[in-house]
Structure 1
Amino acid sequence: MRSAQTGCASESSKEMTERQERKKFEGIVVKSAVPKYRQDLLKWNGWGYKDSKFNVENDGDVKVWFTGDRYPIAGKFLPHFRDWVSETFNIDLANPPALPQEIPVEDRFPKPNVSREHLQEIYSLNISTSLKGIDRLVRAHGQTLNDIFTLRTGMFQRIPDVVLWPTSHEDVVRIVELANRLNLVVLVFGGGTAVSGAVECPVDEPRTIISLDTSQMNRILWVDKENLVACFESGIIGQDLERELREMGFTTGHEPDSYEFSSLGGWVATRASGMKKNIYGNIEDLLVHVKMVTAKGVLEKNCQVPRMSCGPDFNHVVLGSEGSLGVITEVILKIRPLPKCRKYGSIVFPSFEMGLKTMREVARRRCQPASIRLMDNEQFKFGLILKPDAGRFAALLDIFKKFYITKIKGYGFNTLCVMTLLFEGDEDEVKDQEKKVYGIAGQFGGFPAGETNGERGYMLTFVIAYLRDIALQYRIVAESFETSVPWDRALILCANVKRRVAEECRKRSIEHFLVSCRVTQTYDAGCVIYFYFGFNHSGIADPVSAHHDIESCARDEIVANGGSISHHHGVGKLRKKWYPETVSEVGVGLFMATKNELDPQNIFASNNLVKSKL
């Protein structure tokens, strides 16, 4: 019997070795779009690439352009931009803007709070380290309105004391062991795109704060083409991950708005969602296996099977943990062959309500394309300002389109809305989906508006984030916030949140503001709604606090109308006041019990979700 068991085990081991050899190879070193020294390529006090921005030229005739060559509208004149800004916010772009401050000189940065003894211990790890002020500053923030406004007008009270760049899981283990032994704080930094305050340093933290930057952990460790899974280091940036997979004929399909700059580890830590989740799923649907380094050791499963029934799924302890429990180092995701057919589309509706009813029926029949998004009227008009000048013929064509929609179809220009679509799959699948979706839309008064408008609407998602930088220069503060909501509450939630924001603006004598929304994702039981809110802050002493207070009121309204505090942005510090109400006091206690078990000294003292105490 013993011999038979040994032979069987030997054969199994041989098969496993052969399988591993088929799937594993030397890790691909990825050329990252986000370099180690981020400030070399990315804005240190704004969104995205240095060479990409909305630029105002005033040589007697004000013109707005988008610079660089990375996006479809780059290098093109935007003829409708100036008038829209004037009408909506009472801002004249001809007036010189407020210029943001330059990168501070080294003496202006807070001094590193680290003892000589601890610094020698850190250096002994032989891991790339920096005490430079600018390296510490760019890892002290994400992309909240408060973050960027502070960078343009002042300085954070607290920034990391030391930056460390590990290059492997083993490096992270050594950093965490050192921090646990010396009682140092570790804050994990990925792509720096957080809009929840998650990476901000707690101002009352007296201990040395290490910013553990995962950007140099960006390899694809292996790809298993047979089982359609791949293993990545957590610091890999979304666009890099997808670029390398596409060269091999695969994709994860995960495409959040921030995927140009956000990291895989950040996706897992915030329970992220992408624009194409209808086909590929959210991050929790893509996740097969995750490795996280905690103060107690490494948390991971012992095998990479598609599903296990062995108690609570600890993947879901890691998902949404927002850096408070440990450092995510390696992630195995499902991958799919690249779709053979990819097609855009768009539909015009007489009203937001009719568009929403269409989305509900599409979800009911489960025929959603890869992406289906609905803009309200305010966002439709807003989208027009980003339409480049395409010449006299195109202008005449636009006039004809407007005449056809408003006069022949009878849609009111101030009520119509637009849906953008992306279909992916086999050619027959795409044709079938198109037929079903356009057929449903026709039942609710919608008619096709062309592939070009659909593609343009989809790609503009990556440009919209750049608008806040120019807005801040011209005394406009703006931010987005999102929620998920049951279908039967969606329409009333949109109306009530807009009403509440308008009321709060009037209370503060804010006359020139914009609040708009779009439905971005659909589920069987509900949908996701994005709100965009901005105002002219002339005469307001503390515009960021005013914006925060109004957004808080809007979020109270969201909760009162049955919406969530977040669908995919996470909780962080910005939304943690609603966390106990969301998960119950018992839920908070369960989270804290997990926190205390995995991190008894609170070295991951981010204060995200709830305030942690030693």
Structure 2
Amino acid sequence: MSAESKEAATNGDSNSFVEVYSAENNGQQFRKAAKVEPTPSAIPKKRQDLLKWNGWGYSDSQFAVRKGVIWFTGNRYPIGELELPYFTQWTKDVFNVDLSNPIKPQPPITSFPTPIINQEFLSEVKNLNLSVSEDGEDRLFRGHGHTLHDIYVLRVGMFARIPDLVIWPDSHAEVVKIVVLAAKYDVVIMPFGGGTSVTCANSCPEDEKRMIVSLDMSQMNRILWLDRDNLVACIEAGIIGQDLERELKKHGFTTGHEPDSHEFSSLGGWVATRASGMKKNVYGNIEDLLVHAKMVTPTGVLEKNTQGPRVSIGPDFNHVILGSEGTLGVITEVILKVRPLPPCKKYGSIIFPNFESGVQCMREVAKRRCQPASIRLVDNEQFKFGQALKAVPSFFGGIADGFKRFYVTKMKGYDVHKMVVATLVFEGEQTAVEAQEKLVYEIGSQFGGMPAGEVNGQRGYVLTFVIAYIRDLGFDFNIVAESFETSVPWDRTLSLCRNVKGRVTAECKARGIHHYLITCRVTQTYDAGSVVYFYFGFNYGTFPDPCHVYEEIEEAARDEILASGGSLSHHHGIGKVRKKWYRQQVSSQGVQLFRAVKQKLDPKNIFASGNLDSGSHELQAKL
């Protein structure tokens, strides 16, 4: 092993993480003894000190209306403190809203459901000197995720059931003690990571009569060790994505895993939901990055005793943990693959005359396996929306942009009501990136595409993190909106997009909804298919229960997705929102197999989240 590899990963700082090194004589690995302190986190333990209690993201970041014009507050994002006149007009045109007449904001919630307390359990927990809270705000913050339903409930009322106690464990050993006590006193545990779930996975079952404990993993956020030779790192499951990448970057590494929720979601949540990142083409999805996972269950700790790059020792128990969604236990530690930071990163974009051409290009790129780190295609509705989010003259305004429009529409013959754009991110060695760029743009031109510049590509990528804030603005003006996704074979991608849009349109017309938006983008490419993301929102006018109306329409859209050959989920998971379709997706035998695993690992149903189809009620009825 080189002297450089033997150098401490922390450059001598024993409070960060430790180096793994191999003995020259026998190849065995050792870890340098050191106390590893928690990682400084961008998200505080008291989440309400920084994040919205009834919306997405940071409290100082939001779309707001000032003097009739929409602007974005704060300075965390590139569009911060900028007025958005084009977006203002787009909002009026699409949703027919009166921006001078917002819904009166609701005051913070001060009354919370009465907790159910198991005194024996609570006494033993306190004897362990664990960090706990019975505070109503702490409990509420961990009793929901970020579905439309979750945020709507917070804006009009209160959940019938929230966690009765919050516990912040500090180590794997503490988690083991907590789970043992929960099993002893029949107390429910719901693991909590970043709270970004869009499947109601964090929602407490309303009919649960036992004490519910939210196990907030955020204080277990250490990078325990980094193995430079084998390019793996052992990391506690509570670490938030942006913290993980920041700390690894200091030492020249990255996981490359970057989901849309990267700022707030946790490593344990990624594993528990089988997450996917925007740059999976280079780095892989979470299952590709995962080497080892440790999960505490009521009957013991589930983990493998080997960490080879690939092993043939029967079924891979990592895949029992992956996608388990808090139903079997709590993930405490994860060993992930890491990569050296890429020396070159470039953005790009391609404009196509229509959506069909763009999809055909993406299919060819996937067929030739020359995908850049990220390639995403938005339809015409999203193309117009993206242009509207510019504070400066957009594609449709200004002298310079006017020339671009003339060239594209008159000389190239593109129709502004049909054209679409693909945004690109390239990462790797300089020569490899240049070769990949050349090839991708050549393929694009074969399907009528033309380069649209680096700036458009970078804007499209960065705006991904801002889009989630728009839904909160909609709530202020009688608009409800949500996203949903699927994966689908290539030969059904176009028909699925067309069918789902048609189904949503028909459902809106049947309900007398006149002002709505249904739009999609292709976000991932695989050898055998693509990933499609839909955005749907509407002006609900005088509907007394708009959330229910939205859920009815999305349910119809999901039926259409399945009928069109799409999957139940690509990376959002199942939770409670999609569990009604779970059996038809995995078969009755699949459900029985999953329930058998549940019965073995959690016979008393301590992890009673009710997600997937774990048979929680049936299990409880046996007791």
TM (normalized to structure 2)?
A: 0.94
Residue type of the partner of 1:181?
K
Aligned to 1:8: none
Residue type of the partner of 1:31?
P
Q: CA separation in 2, counterparts of 1:391 and 1:263? A: 36
For the pair 1:162 / 2:148, whether they are aligned, the reply is: no
- Cα distance change of structure 1 residues 118 and 19 upon mapping to structure 2, 3 Å threshold: closer
Match of 1:39 among 38, 41, 48: 48
Match of 2:321 among 309, 318, 321: 318
Contact in 1 for aligned 2:120/2:185 (Cα 8 Å): no
Aligned to 2:147: 144
Q: Offset at 1:18?
A: 6.6
Match of 2:98 among 77, 82, 92: 92
Residue type of the partner of 1:103?
P
- Secondary structure of 1:159's partner? coil
Q: Offset at 1:460?
A: 0.2
Match of 1:21 among 18, 31, 35: 31
Aligned to 1:504: 507
Residue type of the partner of 1:29?
P
Match of 2:407 among 396, 404, 408: 404
For the pair 1:612 / 2:616, whether they are aligned, the reply is: yes
For the pair 1:78 / 2:87, whether they are aligned, the reply is: no
For the pair 1:369 / 2:379, whether they are aligned, the reply is: no
- Superposed CA offset, 1:125-165 (max 9, x none): 21101111000001000000000011111000000000000
Match of 1:523 among 514, 521, 526: 526
For the pair 1:187 / 2:190, whether they are aligned, the reply is: yes
Match of 1:276 among 269, 274, 279: 279
- Cα distance change of structure 1 residues 338 and 28 upon mapping to structure 2, 3 Å threshold: farther
Q: CA separation in 2, counterparts of 1:167 and 1:262? A: 18
Q: Which has the higher mean CA deviation after the structures are superposed, 263-272 or 69-78?
A: 69-78
Q: Offset at 1:307?
A: 1.2
Q: CA separation in 2, counterparts of 1:290 and 1:115? A: 31
Structural mapping, 1:250-399, within 5 Å: 250-389=253-392, 395-399=398-402
Residue type of the partner of 2:238?
G
Q: Which runs of 5+ in 1 are unaligned?
A: 1-11
Q: CA separation in 2, counterparts of 1:370 and 1:28? A: 33
For the pair 1:196 / 2:187, whether they are aligned, the reply is: no
Q: CA separation in 2, counterparts of 1:331 and 1:98? A: 45
- Secondary structure of 2:163's partner? coil
Q: CA separation in 1, counterparts of 2:31 and 2:266? A: 28
Aligned to 1:68: 74
Q: CA separation in 1, counterparts of 2:394 and 2:121? A: 64
Contact in 2 for aligned 1:573/1:607 (Cα 8 Å): yes
- Secondary structure of 2:402's partner? helix
Over the matched positions of the two proteins, sequence identity in percent amounts to: 63
- Cα distance change of structure 1 residues 390 and 83 upon mapping to structure 2, 3 Å threshold: closer
Residue type of the partner of 2:52?
K
For the pair 1:426 / 2:429, whether they are aligned, the reply is: yes
Q: CA separation in 1, counterparts of 2:85 and 2:186? A: 57
Aligned to 1:482: 485
Q: Offset at 1:407?
A: 1.2
Q: Which runs of 5+ in 2 are unaligned?
A: 1-21
Residue type of the partner of 2:504?
V
Aligned to 1:580: 583
Q: CA separation in 2, counterparts of 1:284 and 1:562? A: 23
Residue type of the partner of 2:40?
K
Residue type of the partner of 2:62?
K
Q: What RMSD over aligned residues (CA atoms) do the two structures have, in Å? A: 1.6
- Superposed CA offset, 1:155-214 (max 9, x none): 000000000000110110010000000000000110000000101000000000000000
- Secondary structure of 1:531's partner? strand
- Cα distance change of structure 1 residues 173 and 301 upon mapping to structure 2, 3 Å threshold: same
- Secondary structure of 2:85's partner? coil
Match of 2:107 among 90, 97, 102: 102
Match of 2:215 among 203, 212, 227: 212
Q: CA separation in 2, counterparts of 1:388 and 1:424? A: 28
- Superposed CA offset, 1:76-125 (max 9, x none): 11110121111101102122x113322222xx111111043332122122
Q: CA separation in 2, counterparts of 1:608 and 1:79? A: 43
Q: CA separation in 1, counterparts of 2:382 and 2:582? A: 30
Structural mapping, 1:103-118, within 5 Å: 103-105=108-110, 108-118=111-121
Match of 1:56 among 65, 72, 84: 65
Contact in 2 for aligned 1:25/1:222 (Cα 8 Å): no
Q: Which has the higher mean CA deviation after the structures are superposed, 121-130 or 416-425?
A: 121-130
Q: Offset at 1:16?
A: 6.7
- Secondary structure of 2:36's partner? strand
Q: CA separation in 1, counterparts of 2:306 and 2:494? A: 45
- Superposed CA offset, 1:198-235 (max 9, x none): 01000000000000000010111000001000010000
Aligned to 1:414: 417
Q: Offset at 1:21?
A: 3.4
Residue type of the partner of 1:20?
F
Q: CA separation in 2, counterparts of 1:402 and 1:392? A: 7
Q: CA separation in 2, counterparts of 1:392 and 1:361? A: 28
Q: Offset at 1:391?
A: 10
Aligned residues: 596
Residue type of the partner of 1:608?
N
Q: CA separation in 1, counterparts of 2:291 and 2:24? A: 24
Q: Which has the higher mean CA deviation after the structures are superposed, 528-537 or 391-400?
A: 391-400
Residue type of the partner of 1:456?
R
Aligned to 2:9: none
Q: Which has the higher mean CA deviation after the structures are superposed, 532-541 or 390-399?
A: 390-399
- Superposed CA offset, 1:347-394 (max 9, x none): 000000000000000000000000000000000011112111269998
